[in-house]
Amino acid sequence: MTSVIERPAAQFGSASNLVCRECGATYPLGPSHVCELCFGPLEIAYDADLQRLVTRESIASGPATMWRYRGLLPVAPLVDLNVGMTRLVPAPHLARELGMKSLWVKDDSGNPTHSFKDRVVSVAASAAAALGYEVLACASTGNLANAVAAAAANAGLKSVVLIPHDLEAGKVVTTAVYGGTLVAVEGSYDDVNRLCAEVAGELPWAFVNVNVRPFYAEGSKTVGYEIAEQLGWRLPEQVVIPIASGSLLTKVDKAWRELGSLGLVDATPYKVFGAQSAGCAPVSTAFHAGHDVVQPVRPTGIAKSLNIGNPADGPYALDVVRRTGGSIADVGDAEIVDGIQLLARTTGIFAETAGGVTVATLRKLLAAGELDPAAETVILNTGDGLKTLDAVEPVARPTATIAPTLSAFREAGLFE
């Protein structure tokens, strides 16, 4: 087995090398994502001595963005739209409605392009810049398209974004406006992703979720770091996370394990719960069948940002959920719309369909007795409802439409 460990350049922060998640083979840091020996996925490994230089104080003295954790990330902030440090909102009214004791919403709709994807793109785009790429590309279910196009525009890079042709207008317009190349592909996300892997083999482009995916994925750790810091440097007891590729879920867990082993928080136990849409529930299905492998599906349903039928990190998400004692559930389109309305009505947060999936899954897991209503719980809202207006338009209408007179106001029953 070849094992290459090179001294990393300063621009790679505390990262030491790439490591295969399956066989443990190591590779120098660079634009590769697949193990040459076993075809397993590569991930970033860190120099623990360098990571140990990070303290609560050094983090607090950093910027009010995700880059305050740069000592725990694999690259310097070369591309930065002031992403992260989104609000952690207490949700007492939602908690009361669900019979829970303590509930928080980590609201990533507050990012520059209104989803958590700005985090992964900040790291991937910075890595692309460090590695000398001039074109930033991706396959996207929508939110990644926004984030890549905006980050490239800000950094003066070219962007090439490939999306399934049937995405919401709220994701197409909000990508095209940044002026990069936007290609609508007549196929599903999984078709788009396959095409991107082929194109990536032909052109010297940084595909954020293909050849620089190990860097991309680390960006999601910052969700976990922020939750811990915002709770006063401790971990919650339960977290509910939506699953598309499964990367976000696995990286929140990685973040919390790192914080525990670095002594930045007490390594208290937590349970990780996964949320999927019934129209695309391959990880939930595998969980309930007791399988370690994830059988691909053809996605349907309104939660398009989560519609990855062949999730790259599905098996690792299963590992995390099983190791921590959590579980996974999936919810149908009507429940998703109810979930969006419930969150909006009780917190003032307007989530996209993925957030509806998470709230509806929270409710379902509570009803099933799998989530403890007495345990402190954080749920992630990963995107903004303004991008998926069509999902709620039929049920979110004016209470009344009236003539501009007092009698009309009274007749419409608005005095009650």
- Residues at the contact surface with ligand PLP, assessed by CB under 6 A: 115, 117, 143, 242-248, 305-306, 352, 354, 382-383
Please tell me the distance from the alpha carbon of residue 215 to that of residue 73, in angstroms, as a whole number. 9
Owner of token pair 């974004």: 161
Minimum CB–partner distance for residue 37 and ligand PLP (Å): 26
Nearer to ligand PLP, 8 or 356 (CB): 356
Please tell me the distance from the alpha carbon of residue 2 to that of residue 142, in angstroms, as a whole number. 39
What does 20 interact with, of ligand PLP, Zn ion, none (CB < 5 to 8 A by kind)?
Zn ion
Tell me if 23 contacts Zn ion by CB under 5 A.
yes
What does 383 interact with, of ligand PLP, Zn ion, none (CB < 5 to 8 A by kind)?
ligand PLP
Nearer to Zn ion, 37 or 183 (CB): 37
What does 282 interact with, of Zn ion, ligand PLP, none (CB < 5 to 8 A by kind)?
none
Nearer to ligand PLP, 25 or 278 (CB): 278
Residue from 20, 73, 76, 239 in contact with Zn ion (CB under 5 A): 20
Owner of token pair 């919403």: 105
Nearer to ligand PLP, 17 or 307 (CB): 307
Bridge partners, 105 (sequence order): 89, 379
Look up residue 204 and give its two tokens.
Answer: 């010297």
Nearer to ligand PLP, 16 or 305 (CB): 305
In contact, 301 and 280? CB cutoff 8 Å: yes
The one-letter amino acid code at 154 reads N
Tell me if 22 contacts Zn ion by CB under 5 A.
yes
What does 38 interact with, of Zn ion, ligand PLP, none (CB < 5 to 8 A by kind)?
Zn ion
Going from the C-alpha of 412 to that of each of 33, 320, 394, the distances in angstroms are: 61, 53, 20
Q: How many other C-beta atoms can be found within 10 angstroms of the C-beta atom of residue 193?
A: 25
Sign of CA dihedral 46, 47, 48, 50: negative
Closest among 357, 318, 352, 316 to 334, alpha carbons compared: 357
Look up residue 177 and give its two tokens.
Answer: 């406006």
Nearer to ligand PLP, 113 or 346 (CB): 113
- Please give the size of the binding site for Zn ion, defined by CB under 5 A: 8
Nearer to Zn ion, 22 or 97 (CB): 22
Minimum CB–partner distance for residue 219 and ligand PLP (Å): 10
Output the CA angle 164-124-205, nearest 5 degrees.
65
Minimum CB–partner distance for residue 409 and ligand PLP (Å): 39
Going from the C-alpha of 292 to that of each of 248, 282, 328, 339, the distances in angstroms are: 19, 11, 14, 29
What does 243 interact with, of ligand PLP, Zn ion, none (CB < 5 to 8 A by kind)?
ligand PLP
Which span (36-44, 48-56, 249-257, 393-401) binds Zn ion, by CB under 5 A?
36-44
Tell me if 59 contacts Zn ion by CB under 5 A.
no
Minimum CB–partner distance for residue 21 and Zn ion (Å): 8
What does 35 interact with, of Zn ion, ligand PLP, none (CB < 5 to 8 A by kind)?
Zn ion
Going from the C-alpha of 282 to that of each of 243, 262, 411, the distances in angstroms are: 10, 34, 51
What does 244 interact with, of ligand PLP, Zn ion, none (CB < 5 to 8 A by kind)?
ligand PLP
Tell me if 35 contacts Zn ion by CB under 5 A.
yes
To the nearest 10°, the Cα dihedral for 64, 66, 67, 72? Answer: 130
Please tell me the distance from the alpha carbon of residue 307 to that of residue 93, in angstroms, as a whole number. 30
- Residues binding Zn ion (CB under 5 A): 20, 22-23, 25, 35, 37-38, 40
